[in-house]
């Protein structure tokens, strides 16, 4: 029992002595995840909209993003490194490619799941296709999109831990430094914050997803024509 307490105290002491460095790694980790996910949202959501409008586009786009999703993360980063060189740019592009599939697929599924009654009501009051997309279909698909973002965020946080292998930063630096020096304190100092970050991201995004779903269910209880009229 004392050994476990001593180990824990050693861990706290190490974190306290190196808090500045660990904080820098933590911030780098978050920055890479946010930029990678941001790029995936900017590209993935329009791709999901395109897929919802064209069956052939859906087959091609989802096939390509599926392939990107199943490629091992280390292999993808190494290939990107040969093209982009060492550094955080390679990691962020890798995260972007890895996050495309859940965001694109969930956007596509969410848009396809919108009840035709809402669309017919919108058309009945003179909405254009663009208005139907922006004011009816997209808001009702937000819970699906948030689900895709939640999955992508957790995956991205894990993938960033191998960023040091291609010259990136983040908490993975501390993990690999600990592995190279056989120092378990350094491994834990990198692994524990990364795990906590993934758990917190999952909880927060899951909470937002449930809130959106609840709001959608309450809205769905109202008659369809009235709902569309309020949106307009």
| Own/partner pairs, 63-71, CB within 8 angstroms, 24+ separation | 65/100, 65/101, 65/104, 65/105, 66/101, 68/97, 68/98, 68/100, 68/101, 69/98, 69/100, 69/101, 69/102
* Dist. CA 156–CA 150, nearest whole Å: 10
CATH of residue 158 = 1.10.3720.10
Q: Kindly state whether residue 4 falls inside one of the protein's structural domains.
A: no
Q: Kindly state whether residue 46 falls inside one of the protein's structural domains.
A: yes
Determine the structural domain holding residue 190 and report its residue range: 19-231
Q: Kindly state whether residue 12 falls inside one of the protein's structural domains.
A: no
* Dist. CA 119–CA 106, nearest whole Å: 20
Per-residue pLDDT at 227: 39
Q: Kindly state whether residue 9 falls inside one of the protein's structural domains.
A: no
Residue 191: CB atoms within 10 A of its CB come to 17
Q: Kindly state whether residue 170 falls inside one of the protein's structural domains.
A: yes
What tokens does 191 get?
Answer: 């692994």
How many CA atoms within 13 Å lie on the side-chain side of 97? 20
Task: Give me the average pLDDT of each 10-residue run along the chain (232 residues).
Answer: 58 90 95 95 95 92 92 90 90 93 94 83 80 84 92 93 90 93 90 94 92 72 38 34
Q: Any idea what DSSP says for residue 133?
A: I
Per-residue pLDDT at 230: 37
List, as one string, the DSSP characters of 57-97. HHHHHHHHHHHHHHS-HHHHHHHHHHHH-SSHHHHHHHHHH
* Dist. CA 171–CA 22, nearest whole Å: 7
Structural domains in the chain (count)? 1
Q: Kindly state whether residue 2 falls inside one of the protein's structural domains.
A: no
SS3 content of the chain, % helix, strand, coil (to 5): 90, 0, 10
Q: Kindly state whether residue 14 falls inside one of the protein's structural domains.
A: no
Q: Kindly state whether residue 77 falls inside one of the protein's structural domains.
A: yes
């Amino acid at each position: 029992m004392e050994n476990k307490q001593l180990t824990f105290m050693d861990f706290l002491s190490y974190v306290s002595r190196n808090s500045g460095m660990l904080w820098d790694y933590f911030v780098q980790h978050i920055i890479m995840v946010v930029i990678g996910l941001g790029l995936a949202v900017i590209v993935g959501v329009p791709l999901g909209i395109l897929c919802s409008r064209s069956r052939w586009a859906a087959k091609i786009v989802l096939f390509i993003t599926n392939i990107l999703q199943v490629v091992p993360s280390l292999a993808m980063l190494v290939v990107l490194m040969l093209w982009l060189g060492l550094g955080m740019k390679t990691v962020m592009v890798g995260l972007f490619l890895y996050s495309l599939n859940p965001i694109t697929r969930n956007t596509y599924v969410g848009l396809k799941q919108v009840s035709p009654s809402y669309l017919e009501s919108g058309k009945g009051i003179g909405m254009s296709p663009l208005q139907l997309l922006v004011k009816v279909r997209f808001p009702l698909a937000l819970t699906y999109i948030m689900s895709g973002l939640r999955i992508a965020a957790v995956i991205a946080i894990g993938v960033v831990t191998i960023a040091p292998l291609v010259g990136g930063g983040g908490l993975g630096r501390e993990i690999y430094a600990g592995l190279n020096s056989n120092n378990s304190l350094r491994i834990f100092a990198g692994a524990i914050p990364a795990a906590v970050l993934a758990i917190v991201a999952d909880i927060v995004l899951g909470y937002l997803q449930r809130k959106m779903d609840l709001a959608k269910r309450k809205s769905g209880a109202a008659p369809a024509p009235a709902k569309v009229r309020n949106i307009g």
